[in-house]
Amino acid sequence: MASDTASTTPPTSREPDKGTLPADRTVAGAGVAAPVGAPVEESETVVEIATQGSIARRMAIIAAGWIAVLLLGGGIALDRTLTNLVERNFDDQLEYVLTALIASAEIGPEGEVFLYSQLGDQRFFEPNSGVYWQISGKGQETFPSRSLWDRTLKVQGDHFDSEPHFYASGQFPTEPLRMVERTVILPGSETRWTFAVASATEELEAQNSRIRSILVWSFAVLGLGLFLMTLLQIRYGLSPLRRVRAAIQNLRTTGANRITEPLPTEVEPLVEEINSLLAHTEQQAEEARMHAGNLAHALKTPLTVLTNAATARAPDLGNAVIRETRTMQRHVDHHLARARAVGRRAVGHARARVFQSAEAVRRAVERLYPDSRIDIAGNRLVEVMIERQDLDEILGNLIENAAKYGGGTVFVTVDADDTSEQCVIWVEDDGTGIPEGDRERIFDRGARLDTGKPGTGLGLAIVRDVAEIYGGSVELDESEDLGGLLVKLSLPRVA
């Protein structure tokens, strides 16, 4: 790789033309600007912003859905829990009566069963009261409670229930029952006595209905309250976005250039990006104003010279027109190149592969200078953060200058150091080089050390300006390998 160390003895003065091509032709593949006189098509693009619905509506729908699912699931679970508790309490009362009935039962002298103490619930003595008991045994007379009156309970006495057996019975068509029975062998008897206690389920169903009614109304009020609270939370939570919108509207009406209103932490990144975008836009506008002013100032002197020459009917008016129009053309080309680079940089996400661009430029330059030898070496995969067209234009100017003013040999080396943030590209030739004292002046617009060859004197100025727009730089030195000029181009590497 060529070194960029300066030689102690300045080389013979010569200068690469800063405008490598006339304005009316281009280098194929090198990306040099189109002719200034070419018509420019302008089109107005109307961008329609596609919306995806309201954030508040989405949040409300999601919240309503989750509230409904959770309340429904919680209501069903709570309903099952409470009704099971009520039913369990109902069964416990039946079992309590059954236990008392068994404890009060005795066997009489003739093997019959009787109660030595009556149960305390008065309903057992009221006909069709809804609570009943019955003692029955095989081969023995059934002993029912007075509340059964002329009816009997149909028990499932075909098996032995050592523990209380609960079940629902529909033996009375108009009075659904909940029954519990147990098989007992009383002392002094070998008969299997079936003790049964039954109670109408009307009260149980009424309690369950009251529970469900309370749950439905309670959960409905709770769901409505939660949904209203969600709406208030959405309105309050999204209020910073409305404040951001109001602040943006305030930018247009008051002429402010930044959003300075204090906002929540979650919105601060959005506000910072908006402020950065405003700063970037302001910078671009300022650059546009500055370049428009520079261009107007640069064109003022040639126009004044032409006006004076035409007014005085100078004999060399034709030569003056040609000379001054070339000067104006150089300034126009220079500012157009900067404008294109700034516009493409604003698009963002620019990237180009250096080796491909250099190969394309080499093929174009070799057709213009068939006697030149251009060698390219280095990293073939490295990419830089610049538009391909601008990279072609930069390399086109540098490589064509090296071929035009060198001795016929050009080395292009692409940096292989992947650890640096900048990719360095060296362009060397075997010409006479540029004296160290002229290396800075040569970047001025229109500055030329060698006027013997055609050119506009804008090539290196465009190279430096475009490189700086993308965050790069250009330096001149002496080539140790070839002895001519060494151009060190640095451009930001793609991470």
CA distance 128 to 132: 8
The per-residue pLDDT for 343 is: 58
Lowest mean pLDDT among 154-168, 272-286, 337-351, 399-413: 337-351
CA distance 370 to 404: 11
pLDDT band at 77; cut points 50, 70, 90: very high
Domain ranges of the chain: 59-207, 242-345, 350-492
Mean pLDDT for 118-131 is 87
The per-residue pLDDT for 66 is: 92
CA distance 90 to 17: 107
Place of tokens 């250009």: 474
* More confident of the two residues 248 and 10: 248
Beta bridge partners of 194: 136, 183
- pLDDT (tens digit per residue) in 344-382: 555 456 788 999 999 999 999 999 888 889 999 998 889
- pLDDT (tens digit per residue) in 34-65: 333 344 444 445 556 666 678 888 888 999 99
Give the fold, CATH level 3, of 59-207. Answer: Beta-Lactamase (3.30.450)
- Whether residue 268 has pLDDT greater than 60: yes
CA distance 295 to 329: 11
Lowest mean pLDDT among 107-116, 328-337, 395-404: 328-337
- Whether residue 132 has pLDDT greater than 90: yes
Q: How many Cα atoms are found within 13 Å in the side-chain-facing hemisphere of 193? A: 27
- Most confident stretch, 182-191, 252-261, 318-327: 182-191
Q: Sign of the C-alpha dihedral, residues 180, 185, 188, 191?
A: positive
Of the candidates 157, 153, 162, 163, the residue with the CA atom closest to the CA atom of residue 199: 153
- Whether residue 453 has pLDDT greater than 60: no
- Whether residue 22 has pLDDT greater than 70: no
pTM of the predicted protein model: 0.49
- The mean pLDDT value of the chain amounts to 79
One CATH from 3.30.565.10, 3.40.190.10, 3.60.20.10, 3.40.50.2300 for 350-492: 3.30.565.10
The per-residue pLDDT for 271 is: 84
- Can you say how many angstroms the Cα of residue 340 is from the centroid of all Cα atoms in its chain? 31
Beta bridge partners of 412: 376, 427
Q: Cα 263–268–269 angle (5° rounding)?
A: 165
The per-residue pLDDT for 313 is: 79
Name every residue whose Cβ is closer than 8 Å to that of residue 277 and which is 6 or more positions away in sequence: none
Distances (CA, A) of 279 to 151, 272, 276, 471: 97, 10, 5, 17
The per-residue pLDDT for 177 is: 92
